[in-house]
Amino acid sequence: MKILVVEDDPPLRRSLMATLESEGHAAVCAATGEAGLTLALAPGADFDAVVLDIGLPDIDGFEILGRLRREGFSTPIVMLTARDAVRDRIAGLDMGADDYVLKPFDPFELVARVRAVARRTGGYAARTVHVGALACDWEAGAAWIGERRLDLRPREWAALKALATRPGRVVERDRLAAEVFPDEESPSPNALDVHVGRLRRKLAPDGPRLNTLRGVGYRLDP
């Protein structure tokens, strides 16, 4: 994905950029609201998602959100905020925000949420991915190995998405758990292993190999 990050805090901006790039995405950063607006509305910008801080030094994030939506900017927008007031979140959602992340947060959880909103709006996660004999059609919500269609439960499907979009790369346990259990802060220690084990059995014997690196994470190998 190509993601626009509008965040004025330099350490946080650098951290988000590093995390996005480590996940294989392209990050374009802006330190002010005015710069963010210019980048978002530039001809041919073609962003898959926007991460927008509310507390910017020059233009309030709510104003930026409103201006983008009035201009017909339909790209998913995830708001970053230190405000925990429900009325602020409701206001942002009513103005066209797709999701909220409260500070402080785990950068990998934010990336998972960005992928989720892109998936709902038909962005990056709606493309077809091939890993060896495995074919995943995110838009259709289906996966096949050859002519065999996989019967996957929601958690198994979430795990497959996280792994198949990073073939041959190790996905750390914490990262995978954040994508498989996005609404749970602390799933039980063995819950992830259960869903990964089920997915591994469904990929066998003719699909890509799902390897466990003990104490580290998992890797889907073609």
Which run of H or E residues covers position 220? strand 217-221
Segment 172-192, tens digit of pLDDT: 998 899 889 887 667 776 899
Fold match, 2-124 / 127-221: no
At 178 the pLDDT is 86
Q: What angle do CA 182, 183, 185 make, to 5 degrees?
A: 90
d(CA 176, CA 181): 8
Residue boundaries of the structural domains of the chain: 2-124, 127-221
- Map tokens 């790369």 to a residue: 169
Look up the CATH architecture of domain 2-124: 3-Layer(aba) Sandwich (3.40)
Residue ranges in the chain modelled with pLDDT below 50: 123-126
At 77 the pLDDT is 93
Name residues whose C-beta falls within 8 Å of residue 210's C-beta, 6 or more positions apart in sequence.
163, 196, 199, 200, 203, 218, 219, 220, 221
**CATH number belonging to the domain at 127-221, selected among 3.40.50.970, 2.40.30.10, 3.40.50.300, 1.10.10.10:** 1.10.10.10
**C-alpha atoms less than 13 angstroms from C-alpha of 56 in its C-beta half-sphere:** 26
**Cβ-contact 7, 16 below 8 angstroms:** yes
Q: What angle do CA 118, 126, 78 make, to 5 degrees?
A: 5
At 185 the pLDDT is 67
At 124 the pLDDT is 45
Altogether, the residues listed in the chain come to a count of 222
Which run of H or E residues covers position 3? strand 2-6
At 70 the pLDDT is 84
Which run of H or E residues covers position 219? strand 217-221
What is the model's pTM? 0.57
Segment 79-109, tens digit of pLDDT: 998 766 677 777 777 778 888 888 888 888 8
At 93 the pLDDT is 77
